[in-house]
Amino acid sequence: GESVGLHLPTLSVQEGDNSIINCAYSNSASDYFIWYKQESGKGPQFIIDIRSNMDKRQGQRVTVLLNKTVKHLSLQIAATQPGDSAVYFCAENIFGEYGNKLVFGAGTILRVKS
């Protein structure tokens, strides 16, 4: 389904702490998932992705976990820095009869306190 128009949840963390951002997705047939970071006035910036045949994938300071049983994704950011402050969106790639599309989750605001 599409995102619901609610206020974005906010996660506030202290600089240096680890952050965990959660996301629920809607389509059991989704085969590919992406986390994006979006700063004010900019387009979404790719962070990390994961395919449906994996449970975990690690990047530099970031880890994505996928739980297909409950249709849940999480993004873990290690040693959070002030530059990590942004809105974070998960997105699922849905391939249908007429082509593929990327559907975004509701988003989470991450605020890093120095």
Partner 1 sequence: DTEVTQTPKHLVMGMTNKKSLKCEQHMGHRAMYWYKQKAKKPPELMFVYSYEKLSINESVPSRFSPECPNSSLLNLHLHALQPEDSALYLCASTEDRGRYGYTFGSGTRLTVV
Residues binding partner 1: number (CB under 8 A): 31
Residue selected from 21, 35, 84, 107 as contacting partner 1 according to rule CB under 8 A: 107
Q: What is d(CA 88, CA 46) in angstroms, rounded to the nearest whole number?
A: 10
Min CB(108)–partner 1 separation in Å = 11
- 3: which DSSP letter? P
**Residue 84 · residue 78 · CB < 8 Å:** no
Return the range that interacts with partner 1 (CB under 8 A); candidates 12-20, 32-40, 57-65, 69-77: 32-40
Q: Which residue is associated with the tokens 């820095």? A: 81
Among 45, 58, 67, 81, binds partner 1 (CB under 8 A): 45
